[in-house]
């Protein structure tokens, strides 16, 4: 990837790059390219065979799954720095979900066969992939527990809290995605999401703003 600059910086900051190291990444970055896509763009469709592994550099992407006669939902939302969907690429299996840009996005497109060859050739890349997949498994376990045990308000509180860095412990949580997308991710209706946000605001745990929420105490919000 010649002449990248902003993109290169964003790539190097990603946890996956940090884990794999520059040498292992160089081989898979060379044939890769970045795309700037508008909100609403579809990166891939459920049931497609993967042609690319994606690394999100800016913006927000939603994994949307449909079930015949049962509708559509949001499986997960990935932010900048995340790599997806390695499982489909590794296993050469059709995607279980579509990927839709929930904001304007900048995304690195890594050809699927280049990634698979990379994992087969580079032990470092392979190890970084085990770390990536391990982190993603834990995201899903967390969500399953959320859906099965936590109230709508608690789910919303934890979702907002995760948008604030743990180090700062307070600040503005950006929520650039549509209310519909966030509600689907949290397994609730947009109305329930609104009620939960109102409830949290009344309790003083957050203050709603234009494109997100201000949180005085991240820990107290996430409890």
Q: Which tokens hold the place of 27? A: 């081989």
Q: Total binding residues for its own copies by CB under 8 A?
A: 45
Q: According to the binding rule CB under 8 A, does residue 23 interact with its own copies? A: no
Query: At what angle are helices 112-121 and 22-29 packed, to 10 degrees?
Result: 150
Q: According to the binding rule CB under 8 A, does residue 179 interact with its own copies? A: no
Q: According to the binding rule CB under 8 A, does residue 143 interact with its own copies? A: yes
Question: 52-58 and 83-84 as β-strands: parallel, antiparallel, unpaired?
Answer: antiparallel
Q: Which tokens hold the place of 131? A: 């770390």
Provide the minimum distance between the beta carbon of 151 and its own copies in the complex, in angstroms, as a whole number: 8
Using CB under 8 A, which residues numbered 180 to 199 contact its own copies?
184, 187
Q: According to the binding rule CB under 8 A, does residue 90 interact with its own copies? A: yes
d(CA 179, CA 156): 12
Q: Which of 18, 21, 104, 131 binds its own copies (CB under 8 A)?
A: 131
Provide the minimum distance between the beta carbon of 210 and its own copies in the complex, in angstroms, as a whole number: 28
Question: Which stretch in 8-16, 33-41, 86-94, 166-174 sits in contact with its own copies by CB under 8 A?
Answer: 86-94
CA angle at 133 for the pair 128 and 134, rounded to the nearest 5°:
95
Provide the minimum distance between the beta carbon of 76 and its own copies in the complex, in angstroms, as a whole number: 8
Element (H, E) at 117: helix 112-121
51 by Cβ neighbours in 10 Å (0-12 / 13-18 / 19+) ranks as exposed
Dump strand ranges (E) for the chain: 33-37, 42-44, 52-58, 61-67, 71-78, 83-84, 98-101, 105-111, 171-174, 207-208, 212-215
Q: According to the binding rule CB under 8 A, does residue 75 interact with its own copies? A: yes
Provide the minimum distance between the beta carbon of 157 and its own copies in the complex, in angstroms, as a whole number: 13
Query: Site residues (CB under 8 A) for its own copies?
Result: 63, 65, 67, 70-73, 75-76, 86-88, 90-91, 93, 96-97, 119-120, 123, 126-127, 129-131, 133-138, 140-145, 147-151, 154, 184, 187
């Amino acid at each position: 990837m010649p002449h990248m600059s902003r993109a290169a910086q964003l790539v190097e900051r990603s946890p996956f790059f940090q884990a794999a190291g520059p040498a292992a990444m160089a081989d898979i970055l060379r044939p890769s390219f970045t795309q700037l896509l508008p909100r609403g763009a579809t990166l891939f469709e459920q049931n497609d065979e993967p042609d690319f592994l994606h690394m999100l550099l800016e913006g927000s992407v939603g994994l949307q799954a449909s079930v015949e006669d049962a509708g559509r939902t949001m499986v997960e939302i990935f932010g900048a720095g995340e790599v997806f969907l390695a499982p489909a690429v590794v296993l050469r299996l059709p995607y279980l979900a579509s990927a839709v840009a929930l904001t304007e996005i900048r995304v690195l497109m890594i050809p699927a066969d280049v990634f698979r060859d990379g994992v087969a050739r580079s032990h470092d890349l392979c190890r970084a992939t085990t770390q990536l997949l391990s982190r993603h498994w834990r995201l899903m376990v967390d969500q399953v527990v959320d859906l099965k045990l936590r109230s709508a308000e608690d789910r919303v509180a934890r979702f907002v809290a995760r948008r604030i860095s743990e180090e700062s412990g307070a600040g503005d949580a950006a929520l650039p995605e549509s209310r519909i997308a966030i509600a689907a991710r949290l397994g609730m209706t947009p109305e329930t999401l609104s009620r939960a946000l109102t409830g949290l605001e009344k309790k003083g745990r957050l203050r709603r703003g234009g494109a997100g929420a201000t949180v005085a105490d991240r820990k107290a919000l996430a409890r």
